[in-house]
Amino acid sequence: MEQSYVLGIDIGGQTAKCGIVNARGEVLAQTILVSNKHDNAADFVEALASTLKKLIDDADLEGQVRGIGVGAPNGNYYTGEIQFAPNLAWAHECNVPFVNMLSEAMGGMPVALTNDANAAAMGEMTYGAAKGLKDFIMITLGTGVGSGIVIDGKVLYGHDGFAGELGHTCAVRGGRRCGCGKLGCLEAYCSAIGVARTAVEWLEQHPEESSLLRLRENVTSKDVYEAAKAGDKVAKDIFDYTGAILGRSFADFVAFSAPEAIVLFGGLARAKEFLLEPIQKSMNENMLPIWKDKVRILFSSLSESDAAILGASALAWNI
């Protein structure tokens, strides 16, 4: 039987998105698995394998799937391991031989792994806003901040498979403690969790300012976005602050790879009407003159699940 399909999996800090993809790059069926309720890798892989088998059965494609491509935080393309991933409880303090474990759970089906942001970059380069670009940086703004660096049409992996951990570059010297253990990481300020932390801090520091956010018991980045849409000044100020930090970091990123564009992807990127202007302003204020006004800020043109699923699935065709 011809194997004309692959599976693409995007593992995030909250959920794992799984999809069946055909040779034309169409996501035929997809489902979501909660990824943050498992204490150990074995339990997560077992649940993931069960989800994938059901997805294949429901699509009546038994025997027609040739392989699995996976994008995951701290996924190592070379070793097949997920290594010390801060936002995955089951991989936070260990190296997980993920490729071997999932392949075994799927009856020997070939599996390939890469960083989740690299997978999103591959999907965007093939099907989305970065189509036709050979030099760009993908920034994923979700539970964490990830990045995929593409140079001359190739994803940059470095000698050990971990090139491009831009979310853990220092954005604020001596700043907040990040989930990785460092202080002041970009992720600690510009992820969905970071924006929520900013909101809590600002509400505490400015008790005299009224805000819709004070009506929320546990403020999330979604709450901040909805408040900003309703005209809330504090919420808009939070996005200005977040965008300014992103812009400064982007100026630094441009200095080492000179990309044509920086592509933003992920849940927080939906707030583009509040983020774009402060990002561009801050980036150009901190940019060397040779790059000023030359580097575009683009937002993903693919649905959040499709870009990562398609990017991850691209790995599977070449296993």
User: What is residue 85's predicted lDDT score, i.e. its pLDDT?
Assistant: 87
Domain contains 141: yes
pLDDT > 70 fraction of the chain, expressed in percent and rounded = 99
Domain contains 164: yes
Q: Are residues 162 and 296 in the same domain?
A: yes
Domain contains 128: no
Average pLDDT, consecutive stretches of 10 residues, N- to C-terminus, the chain (319 residues)? 88 92 92 90 97 97 96 93 89 91 98 91 88 95 92 94 93 95 97 97 94 94 97 97 98 96 93 97 96 94 78 88
User: What is residue 305's predicted lDDT score, i.e. its pLDDT?
Assistant: 64
Q: Are residues 62 and 152 in the same domain?
A: no
Q: Are residues 137 and 100 in the same domain?
A: no
Q: Are residues 294 and 312 in the same domain?
A: no
Q: Are residues 96 and 166 in the same domain?
A: no
- State the CB neighbour count (10 A cutoff) for residue 237: 17
Q: Are residues 74 and 220 in the same domain?
A: no
Q: Count structural domains, the chain.
A: 2
The predicted-structure confidence for 135-172, as pLDDT tens digits, reads as follows 999 999 988 999 999 999 999 999 999 898 999 999 99
Q: Are residues 157 and 213 in the same domain?
A: yes
Q: Are residues 107 and 143 in the same domain?
A: no
User: What is residue 192's predicted lDDT score, i.e. its pLDDT?
Assistant: 95
CATH number of the domain within which 269 lies: 3.30.420.40
Domain contains 126: no
User: What is residue 12's predicted lDDT score, i.e. its pLDDT?
Assistant: 86
Q: Are residues 236 and 277 in the same domain?
A: yes
Domain contains 79: yes
Q: Are residues 229 and 275 in the same domain?
A: yes
Q: Are residues 167 and 34 in the same domain?
A: no
Residue type, 97: P
Domain contains 75: yes
The predicted-structure confidence for 260-284, as pLDDT tens digits, reads as follows 999 999 889 999 999 999 999 999 9
Token representation of residue 192 = 């969905």
Domain that holds residue 210: 133-300
